[in-house]
Structure 1
């Protein structure tokens, strides 16, 4: 019997299979020139939580924009050019003293890529997805967000039709900060809803 190479005996890796598929499709002229490069640039450079931070900071200082964001999140995001895959139907969820909104995808890991960036690893985990729906307050506390007893945790399950963005409350003591400084208070975790914005801009 002939010796087998590791790939023959153990099977190919997902990366190898992806490239094999790419080469087959490319050979059949089914992949447009520059398609892969465009996607790579989109995921690496254009899908960014800094985009969501810009929207939130603008909503904090501009009541009219805030109204547009809450009324039609998709159109408000389009004003900044934040569109594309996973961003076709965007709904902004406003936190209040009574309600803390949190985003999850209980079936997989869908989220609002153009505004939140790609989902973090913990967001994809089965334990997080299952527990957040059942015991949201406990999960948030474990992640470092201890809410007042009177605040209700409202969990929003992302679907194929809807992608969400959390609009958190503006922290007290930030009245003198510029819009650009306010953007630095907002992280991906804040946009997902598992964290609260700080009152001090990150350096």
Structure 2
């Protein structure tokens, strides 16, 4: 998806300032680059997405919470203790056999940090932000997600007012799994809409 010949927007002044401070601390031996990478990995892959996975797993197993989440995602998610500035106003779009949902932010990179952690680099890329709206089916194919032609794709554009999360379809074969076990199946990308959850095999259940 990324084309090195395409022009991208320069980093914002706060981003440049942070990078300058980080470089200075590393140069003076006060900051370990590996520690920075570890912290980023924690927020991007291990902490934030686990919150979102817990929300989705609860919705799969608790009909009342499922209804609450679809009617008022902000209230439902806040009731689980996941709050913050980037999660002040939330909406959950549920995948179904007829509809696949995809989240993008065409203006910048608005993203529900409290439930998904840090946004992936590609989410902020101009190519994704423009093409996901114009040709979402092709973009999903590039992520390895094939959506049949007769299945609707709905694209949700996050902004400063509201941020979107996808509720992936519950995998086949997961009927006997606990809420905690289900949460382990749910990925960050599936909650953006750029990944599907594989069926649970007998060995995994």
Distance in structure 2 (CA, Å) of the matches to 1:17 and 1:145? 38
Give the CA deviation at 1:185. 1.2
Q: Which residue of 2 aligns with 1:53?
A: 53
Q: Which residue of 2 aligns with 1:14?
A: 17
Q: Which residue of 2 aligns with 1:70?
A: 70
The answer to whether the aligner puts 1:117 opposite 2:117 as a matched pair is yes
Quote the RMSD (CA, aligned, Å): 2.4
Q: Which residue of 2 aligns with 1:100?
A: 100
Distance in structure 1 (CA, Å) of the matches to 2:132 and 2:77? 27
Q: Which residue of 2 aligns with 1:26?
A: none
Give the CA deviation at 1:75. 0.6
- Map 1:148-163 to 2 at 5 A: 148-163=148-163
User: Cα gap change, 1:44/1:184 in structure 2, threshold over 3 Å: closer, same or farther?
Assistant: closer
Distance in structure 1 (CA, Å) of the matches to 2:76 and 2:150? 31
Q: Which residue of 2 aligns with 1:178?
A: 178
Q: Which residue of 2 aligns with 1:137?
A: 137
Distance in structure 2 (CA, Å) of the matches to 1:193 and 1:105? 13
Q: Which residue of 1 aligns with 2:6?
A: none
Give the CA deviation at 1:144. 0.5
- Map 1:79-94 to 2 at 5 A: 79-94=79-94
Distance in structure 2 (CA, Å) of the matches to 1:85 and 1:188? 19
Extract unaligned runs of 5+ from structure 2.
1-15, 23-38
The answer as to whether partners of 2:103 and 2:155 remain within 8 angstroms in 1 is yes
TM-score normalised by L of structure 2: 0.76
Distance in structure 2 (CA, Å) of the matches to 1:180 and 1:69? 18
The answer as to whether partners of 1:101 and 1:153 remain within 8 angstroms in 2 is yes
- 4+ long deviations beyond 6 Å: none
TM-score normalised by L of structure 1: 0.77
Give the CA deviation at 1:199. 2.7
> How many residue pairs get matched?
170
Distance in structure 1 (CA, Å) of the matches to 2:117 and 2:43? 9
Larger Rg computed on CA atoms: 1
Q: Which residue of 1 aligns with 2:36?
A: none
Give the CA deviation at 1:136. 0.2
The answer to whether the aligner puts 1:189 opposite 2:189 as a matched pair is yes
